[in-house]
Chain A
Amino acid sequence: MLKILKYSFYDLMRSRWSYVYFLFYLILGFVLLFLNNDVDKAVITLMNIIIVLTPLIGTIFGVMYYYDSKEFTELLLAQPINRKKIFMGQYLGISISLTLSLLLGLGIPFVLYGLFKSAAIFNFSLLLVVGSFLNFIFVALSYNIALSTENKIKGFGYAILMWLFLAVIYDGIFLISLVLLNEYPLDKFSLVATMFNPIDLSRILILLKLDISALLGYTGAVFRKFFGTNFGMLISMGVLVLWVILPVFRMNLKLRKKDF
């Protein structure tokens, strides 16, 4: 598995897209800090970008890589190697290389601008952790879609739809249900609803460390009590881990039966 991981990883590292992705974050980080010169505020802006863009890039990369390397994968499958190892190697290769681009691309400018001296270091690391999680989650989800869909175009379509659903449509439905069910106590409902969407969950996690915590107090103690404590933080992190594990598990399940 390690060999395949290494192969996928180097393959992606050599590809232009990883560099583009890395450079994008690098420039973004520098520009943000140059314009703001305040690490605190830059973290807020970054959050907006990370929770939308990281899932999108993860999704597209995952699907793209699967279909692109399909022939090579089939070649590998002809060898006496465990299927699981091949795909897990590929999956980890993509996720790790994407995460590395994210960490380095954003880390370098922030470190250069004196992150270690700033109080924002915790918020920033949380941002990076959440970003990494989103990478792993969405690559896994897109691999699931790609494995289940033979047709490349369809696969891409579903993957994008999945992203669109989680990033935009889900929130829309969420909001509408909140407005429609206005008469009912909705605190627990919204708490649970955020758990079912990794993007929402990441957003709330970061927001609570930033500016929303004051506002959430208004909404009802349930939210602040839950997310504000270490226990809530632990649970949310646990849910994010689950969001990685479940798709990976399903991927393996699918692999066992799939006829290549």
Chain B
Amino acid sequence: MKYKILLFLFFISVAVAAKQIVVCEDCGIKSIKEAVRIANDGDEIFIKKGIYKEQNITIHKSISLIGEKGAIIDGEYKGGGLIFEANNFKIKGIKIINISTSYTVEYAAIKVVKVDGFIIDGCILEDVFFGILIEKSKGGIIRNNKISSNRKGEAGSGNGIHIWSGDKMEVYNNEMWGLRDGIYFEFVKNSTIYKNFSHNNIRYGLHFMFSNNNVYHHNEFRNNGAGVAVMFSKFIVMHHNKFRLNWGSASYGLLLKEIYDAEIYDNLFEQNTIGLNAEGSTRINYINNTFLRNGWAIKIAGACYANIFLHNDFMSNSLDLSYNSNVNDNKFDNNYWSEYNGYDLDKNGIGDVPYRPVKLFSYIVNKTPQALVLLRSLFVDIVNFSEKVSPVFTPDDLMDNNPLMKRIND
């Protein structure tokens, strides 16, 4: 017992030994750079309210940077903001604005290079080039941040949270808008992204490449230039996400390219030009998703094998499914299709006639996109009907043998 008290006291003394350095406009220490210079590992720098016009503050010490409400670092479009190159740092409640655009240097509000263990919490990053740029780091938590920008064009803008080569990251409760990509992952593994809200970005709400074993859940992606793109990754789990209102000539709710062994469940795809676009994606289970009022609910572009679509709701989509080959290796079963007009005589909730989600019209539109002008014309209905009766062009084994009669997630 005595030892325990002693141990406790020891830790307290260590904690006390870590001193707090206060930075404010009329204190002894007026700039953050100066505070960083005199700080030791484990210290806390407390930044009081005020505007600090400093750029490229490089930090090589394991310190905490805490901002009072109203503490602003102004980059004055002269470079980046903070650069961390030390393990176990923490930054909280700081507002960083006006980061300059560059076509050669990746200026970021917060840049993290080769760090093990860090927390970025509650920061507001406005008018940035890159928001949070992380390179070769692991064990980071990025939460409660608001990142925004108003740059125009893909080339002249950066990403909100950009992680290049990372491990065990946790990104949650962030909001990103007006950037190139809201969240960009490249070579990131074993990470979780949840409860983020990424909207009105120039390119993708979320974009990841070569990032295996990650989980994405409870995020909302809305109104992004091209939706969400997931490419060249394995063992991805995506659930309870909302992909909404991604409209435009090349917009997708979710774009999958070269994805293997993923689980996609309980997501909502609402009012996208293309709800889900899959290309070269194999062994993916799509379960319990809702596709609501999309142009195309699902577009399968080729080389997609052994995918399973189970218990999904397809509600009021202009075209349920588009397929560009007539070979089918994917399984559709027990889905609800609002276009289904079969019957259920034995009242077991499952339609007695199979449903064919690919219509001749969607096949034609695939070949000749302009033909879309004829959507919902009587002629197209007649053509679709005749194709339904005797399939010629569409894969004849592509059907849902047990279409449900009632919506699953009402």
Interface string of B380-397 (1 = CB under 8 A from A): 101100000000000000
Residues from chain B with a CB closer than 8 A to the CB of A221 are: 249
Within 8 A of B (CB), among A149-182: 167-172, 174-175, 178-179, 182
Q: Tell me whether A212 and B375 are in contact (CB under 8 A).
A: yes
Residues from chain A with a CB closer than 8 A to the CB of B375 are: 207, 212, 215
Residues from chain A with a CB closer than 8 A to the CB of B348 are: none
Which residue of chain B lies nearest to A168 when distances are taken between CB atoms in the complex? B379
Return the contact of A182 from the options B316, B318, B367, B373 (Cβ within 8 A).
B367
Given contacts A175-B364, A211-B318, A212-B318, contact A218 B369 (CB under 8 A): yes
CA distance in complex: A170, B379 (Å): 9
Return the contact of A190 from the options B274, B370, B379 (Cβ within 8 A).
B370
Interface string of A24-53 (1 = CB under 8 A from B): 000000000000000001001001100110
CA distance in complex: A44, B318 (Å): 11
CA distance in complex: A154, B335 (Å): 51
CA distance in complex: A172, B380 (Å): 8
Residues from chain B with a CB closer than 8 A to the CB of A172 are: 379
Residues from chain B with a CB closer than 8 A to the CB of A182 are: 367-368
Residues from chain A with a CB closer than 8 A to the CB of B271 are: 214
Count chain A residues whose beta carbon lies closer than 8 angstroms to a beta carbon of B.
Answer: 39
Q: Tell me whether A178 and B273 are in contact (CB under 8 A).
A: no
- Judge whether B196 is part of the interface by a CB distance below 8 angstroms: no
CA distance in complex: A189, B368 (Å): 13
Chain B nearest CB: distance from A97 CB in Å?
25
Interface string of A211-228 (1 = CB under 8 A from B): 111111111110100000
Return the contact of A175 from the options B251, B274, B371 (Cβ within 8 A).
B371
Return the contact of B376 from the options A187, A203, A220 (Cβ within 8 A).
A203
- Judge whether B180 is part of the interface by a CB distance below 8 angstroms: no
Given contacts A187-B370, A217-B251, A220-B369, contact A47 B376 (CB under 8 A): yes
Q: Tell me whether B249 and A168 are in contact (CB under 8 A).
A: no
Return the contact of B295 from the options A48, A174, A218 (Cβ within 8 A).
A218
- Judge whether B372 is part of the interface by a CB distance below 8 angstroms: yes
Chain A nearest CB: distance from B393 CB in Å?
12
- Judge whether B374 is part of the interface by a CB distance below 8 angstroms: yes
- Judge whether B162 is part of the interface by a CB distance below 8 angstroms: no
Secondary structure of the A contact surface, majority rule: helix
Q: Tell me whether A171 and B380 are in contact (CB under 8 A).
A: yes
CA distance in complex: A178, B369 (Å): 9
CA distance in complex: A221, B367 (Å): 18
Return the contact of B318 from the options A168, A179, A215 (Cβ within 8 A).
A215
Return the contact of A218 from the options B249, B316, B383 (Cβ within 8 A).
B249
CA distance in complex: A220, B380 (Å): 20
Q: Tell me whether A178 and B371 are in contact (CB under 8 A).
A: yes
Chain B nearest CB: distance from A123 CB in Å?
14
CA distance in complex: A186, B365 (Å): 13
Chain B nearest CB: distance from A256 CB in Å?
36
- Judge whether A255 is part of the interface by a CB distance below 8 angstroms: no
Q: Tell me whether A217 and B378 are in contact (CB under 8 A).
A: no
- Judge whether B153 is part of the interface by a CB distance below 8 angstroms: no
Residues from chain A with a CB closer than 8 A to the CB of B369 are: 218-220
Return the contact of B379 from the options A47, A175, A194, A207 (Cβ within 8 A).
A175
Chain B nearest CB: distance from A33 CB in Å?
16
Residues from chain A with a CB closer than 8 A to the CB of B377 are: 51, 171, 199-200, 203
- Judge whether A100 is part of the interface by a CB distance below 8 angstroms: no
CA distance in complex: A170, B293 (Å): 28
- Judge whether A4 is part of the interface by a CB distance below 8 angstroms: no
- Judge whether B247 is part of the interface by a CB distance below 8 angstroms: yes
* Besides A168-B382, A203-B376, A211-B293, 19 other A-B contacts (C-beta < 8 A): A41-B316, A51-B378, A167-B378, A169-B379, A171-B374, A171-B377, A186-B370, A199-B377, A203-B377, A211-B318, A214-B247, A214-B248, A214-B271, A215-B318, A217-B247, A218-B273, A218-B369, A218-B372, A219-B369
Give residues in A with beta carbon < 8 Å to B: 41, 44, 47-48, 51-52, 167-172, 174-175, 178-179, 182, 186-187, 189-190, 194, 199-200, 203-204, 207, 211-221, 223
Sorted from nearest, which 4 A-B pairs have the closest CB atoms? A171-B379, A215-B295, A217-B249, A186-B370
Q: List 22 A-B contacts (CB under 8 A).
A: A47-B376, A172-B379, A175-B371, A175-B380, A179-B364, A179-B368, A179-B371, A182-B367, A186-B368, A189-B370, A194-B373, A200-B377, A203-B376, A203-B377, A211-B295, A212-B372, A214-B248, A215-B295, A215-B375, A218-B250, A218-B274, A223-B373
